[in-house]
Structure 1
């Protein structure tokens, strides 16, 4: 089974930059989007063979998530019950027979950290939600999680300590999740590999010089580790300030 996640930074713009070419080429079983930045009716994607699920933000041109899947899920849930979460369209959960897929666009704490408190509350609520799901069946949790967990996950870690996306608090929330029965799939295969990033500033030559951050993840319940085949980033795929990430796994029989 092949899963892809991509913060497209506006799906309409990304479609004009080759999104469909990549979509067809990668042929994922499940394809997750974050930051779609549109409202219902603004784009009609012809994705033959896929069920489409969209969670639009109420604010125009902002946030939002989507999931395209070949297999119809047992049920789909939007948000985790928090009012602001629903308004910003940040979470879609698909339930399948043997696992849950949770696609998330985590709120940024902002450059001046004015949204850090809200971000930490979000992390606590989502952590509780993932643990409830995990108690029922394994979870695949993916998306733009807006945090570089370890120093190896960004190029300039020394100058970014304490900055948005690399605060002690945000990194601590990720550590708590991983310590509670979840695995960062990319680090499972590449525990210390440097230079694997998924986001770059639009500043000139930044992406060419690979001065980036890894803030997009596939995180899985520990009991899925034995079924992981590969986890990787596709930095050469343009169309957004993020690149797509991919996870391949065998489907368990249990």
Structure 2
């Protein structure tokens, strides 16, 4: 049975409301994870509750900042907000065949002032995934805020020391892949020029000067269950576009 999963950093769910609702109605995903919702239970637009989905929210303590929200056609077996973090960056939904981890990794910032915090987050996330995998495989999605390889960024040389493409962040991504996690998009496409984020400046999206920083990584046990992985490049409403994964699994 094919299960459709989508992940999207909306850069504010209220600002992206119309496009997000349109996406859900057109794609009809079984599960969708939103990152950087910048909202809480009181400020999530009510239309999301009228879609017939289970709605799970993990807001940041700081109002109007960060946060994650997941919608599922079927009620999850469990919902875990057990990753220690006060910015609502991680939400885990347990389904029959796998854990769905909706994640918004920290940005190390232009001056790299949050690089150490991000690396600590990365290390804890890897441990968290390994713990979950002892029970069942995982599909972790979201904005990882890092372009892993040269192929994942339009201008690798110019960005070699910039946030999101530092050697340290790329090395941490190596650890995720080295642990057995699989970058699903690269199962199906080895082509350059496939990006998920563009700066609002310099008409970067029009020129496709972008970065692939949004991913679906899956446990090795799920690799043979991957049916397709894609980038929904035509969706507007954010500086990111959604990524989609279809698995031959049950929720």
Per-residue displacement from partner, 1:16-65 (whole Å, max 9, x unpaired)? 4x221121001000010000001221122234321000001111211000
The structural deviation recorded for 1:175 is 0.7
Whole-angstrom distance in 1 between the partners of 2:50 and 2:102: 19
Whole-angstrom distance in 1 between the partners of 2:97 and 2:28: 21
Counterpart secondary structure, 2:158: helix
Whole-angstrom distance in 1 between the partners of 2:59 and 2:222: 30
Q: Does 1:235 align with 2:233?
A: yes
Per-residue displacement from partner, 1:2-29 (whole Å, max 9, x unpaired)? 000000000000014x221121001000
Q: Does 1:2 align with 2:4?
A: yes
Task: List runs of 5+ in structure 2 lacking aligned partners.
Answer: none
Q: Does 1:14 align with 2:12?
A: no
Counterpart secondary structure, 1:186: helix
Counterpart secondary structure, 1:102: strand
Counterpart secondary structure, 2:194: coil
TM-score normalised to the size of structure 2? Answer: 0.95
Per-residue displacement from partner, 1:52-79 (whole Å, max 9, x unpaired)? 0000111121100000001111111114
Whole-angstrom distance in 1 between the partners of 2:191 and 2:82: 34
Task: List runs of 5+ in structure 1 lacking aligned partners.
Answer: none
Counterpart secondary structure, 1:39: coil
The answer (yes or no) to whether the contact 1:79–1:90 under 8 Å persists in 2 is: no
The answer (yes or no) to whether the contact 1:198–1:214 under 8 Å persists in 2 is: yes
Counterpart secondary structure, 2:101: strand
The answer for the alignment partner of 2:54 in structure 1 is: 51
The structural deviation recorded for 1:188 is 1.1
Per-residue displacement from partner, 1:219-248 (whole Å, max 9, x unpaired)? 000111111111010111100000011001
Alignment of 1:83-232 (within 5 A): 85=85, 87-190=86-189, 192-232=190-230
The answer (yes or no) to whether the contact 2:49–2:55 under 8 Å persists in 1 is: no
The answer (yes or no) to whether the contact 2:216–2:245 under 8 Å persists in 1 is: yes
Q: How many residues align?
A: 247
The answer (yes or no) to whether the contact 1:227–1:252 under 8 Å persists in 2 is: no
The answer (yes or no) to whether the contact 1:200–1:206 under 8 Å persists in 2 is: yes
TM-score normalised to the size of structure 1? Answer: 0.94
Counterpart secondary structure, 2:51: coil
